[in-house]
Amino acid sequence: MTEEFDRAFWEERYRRHRSSDPGEPNPQLVAEVAELVPGSALDVGCGEGAEAMWLASRGWWVTATDIAASALERARRHAEILDDGVADRIEWVRADLTGEGAGERRFDLVTAHYVHPVGPPEAMLANLAAAVAPGGTLFVVGHHPSHRRHASAAEAYVAAERLATELAPERWEVVVAETRSRPAGGHHGHGTTLWDSVLRARRRV
């Protein structure tokens, strides 16, 4: 990770960005994971917790991690407002699992959305993949390279097809590796379309 996107950067970003709710979960996650049988999930780079809370509301036991303590504190508060037991199903952990190991074959689902890894995205993918249990799912959504604006954030932009080649076919079944559109809000009420790199794979063994 470049100095611009280190822990101090993210701590300051979340301290300055005041929000009353975590927003909606990523639509790519909702589309791909809604039909999976709930189990244990790892949400890497959870931010304010929208994806972690959505997973917990559907019966998953979630370990939600982020590099910024301020993001986790805000996410925890969002979860505690809900009255359906969501907060009890989430463990909030400060860690940068894009550059650190998350444990071997522990989770039925490992997911990450728009993270800025400390190094090459292939190294991040290896860390995340190692944490998926046999029969489990790896699900990664990233910024498509066509949206790249800053040279310092190069690692955050990658094509799903490129990431898929890093998964050994004898160990992984690649279910989805493609570019998808996503609506996003724009200035003065004008919406825009963004493009995501979407990778979903199931671990065979």
For residue 144, being part of any structural domain is answered with yes
Q: Is residue 78 situated within a structural domain?
A: yes
Which pLDDT tens digits describe the chain residue by residue (205 residues)? 444 676 677 677 767 776 767 889 999 999 999 999 999 999 999 999 999 999 999 999 999 999 898 999 999 999 999 878 899 999 999 988 776 777 788 999 999 999 888 788 998 999 999 999 999 999 999 998 876 665 456 667 889 999 999 999 999 999 999 999 888 765 555 678 889 999 999 999 8
CATH code, domain carrying 46: 3.40.50.150
Contact 60, 92 (CB under 8 A): no
In a domain, 27, yes or no: no
CA-derived radius of gyration, the chain: 16
Range of the domain at 166: 3-18+38-203
Please tell me the pTM assigned to this model: 0.88
In a domain, 136, yes or no: yes
Long-range own/partner contacts, residues 54-63 (CB < 8 A, 24 or more apart): 54/25, 54/29, 54/30, 55/109, 56/86, 56/87, 56/89, 56/90, 57/82, 57/84, 57/86, 58/34, 59/89, 60/89, 60/109, 61/89, 62/89, 62/90, 62/91, 63/90, 63/91, 63/93, 63/107
Within-domain flag for 71: yes
Domain total of the chain = 1
pLDDT by residue (tens digit) across 38-79? 999 999 999 999 999 999 999 999 999 998 989 999 999 999
In a domain, 160, yes or no: yes
